[in-house]
Structure 1
């Protein structure tokens, strides 16, 4: 996925009210832009660090741009626009990059399912039956480690999705938890048990029930981002 139009560079002044960020562009212009990330963004940004943003010319928009990439305290790059994760995964699915899910005959998005009223990100149809795929965007890394973690804040919704997938798996329906790791310099992924122990336990239970837990990393720079490699998941 290419960033089109090209991203502009700046420096982060502050992020506040979850959805707002003040930045200073290379030309010295100070802007308030949209932060499309509902998480805590823990270890994912640093005041004064580099950021890249997409600018909009839509006169109906209240804010002139969207924060896309952040420099982390460890000097990594993180794609903080969580809305990109599903598009990256769909692009990779259609290109056959995600080998575990190759060979599907149709793809549907946001399909209602489960006993708790959920919507799965993708439902893939195979000759052998459907596969329900839940996608999570991962941007949390820690000092001195090449292991990313999820989530960066307590997520009851994430735990619910794991319960729904586990229920499918126990019924013999293929269920997949896919982590899209939008963070450079990563070699593996694990649940962030120190942040949300309930989610970590739900992931363990889901895996034991037969849910496939897979992760893929990305190539990320200011010009493009795309899924390029499988990563091990440490349960």
Structure 2
């Protein structure tokens, strides 16, 4: 996925009110930009981090600039725009990057499904009209320790919405469909992933219930630079 506009660089002052961030441009100008991320962004948006932002040509936007990437003190690129996740995974499926999902013929996004008024991120269908329901979760929480083992976690905050999605996937599996939870790792420092029991124990339990019910879990990282983000390679998922 290529960014629709050339990204500009700045220094992060602070992220606040969930959807806003203040940045300092190289010329010293202070600017408020939009941040499309509802998560805690723990370790991803610290004061002084280098950031990269896009500019919209929509003249009606109050904040024409959007925060896309942050770069931590180690130089790891982090995509903080969670609205891009579906597009990144869709392109990865079309480009046959995910062996587990290569044989599907059609892709639909944001399709209504389930008993809890949900929308599935991606609905795939093969030539035999067998459906595969895919829920995508963007991962950016890295455990900071001296070992530097690249241990990542999801979620970075308590997620009742995430629990609902697990229930819906379990229901789809029970109805005879294929159900997949795909973790899209968008932090270059993360080398493996586990449920964040220390953040949300109920979600960690929900992951185990989903696995026991036959829901598949895939975990892939991304290649990130200021021009594009693309699906890259699988990472270990350690549920326990």
TM over 0.5: yes
User: Contact conserved, 2:135 with 2:181, CA < 8 A, in 1?
Assistant: yes
Structure 2: gaps of 5 or more residues? none
CA distance in 1, matches of 2:90, 2:57: 27
TM-score, scaled relative to structure 2: 0.94
Tell me the SS of whatever aligns to 2:220: strand
How far, CA to CA, are the matches of 2:208 and 2:199 in structure 1? Answer: 15
Note if 1:107 corresponds to 2:107.
Answer: yes
Give how far 1:64 is off. Answer: 2.6
Contact persistence 2:14–2:45 (CA under 8 A) = no
In the alignment, which residue of structure 2 is the partner of 1:20? 20
- Pair 1:140 & 2:141 matched: yes
In 2, Cα distance between the equivalents of 1:19 and 1:229? Answer: 30
Alignment of 1:208 onto 2:209: no
Gaps of at least 5 residues in structure 1 are none
2:196 aligned residue: 192
Matches within 5 A, 1:45-194: 45-72=45-72, 75-128=75-128, 129-143=130-144, 144-194=148-198
Note if contact 1:7-1:222 (Cα within 8 Å) is conserved in structure 2. yes
State the 1:148 CA deviation. Answer: 1.5
Superposed displacement of residue 27, structure 1 = 2.2
**Conserved 8 A contact 1:142-1:148:** yes
C-alpha deviation, 1:127, in angstroms = 3.3
The 1-side partners of 2:36 and 2:104 are apart by 31
TM-score (norm 1): 0.96
How many residues are treated as equivalent by the alignment?
235
User: CA deviation digits over 1:179-205, x for unaligned, max 9?
Assistant: 111110222111111001111110110
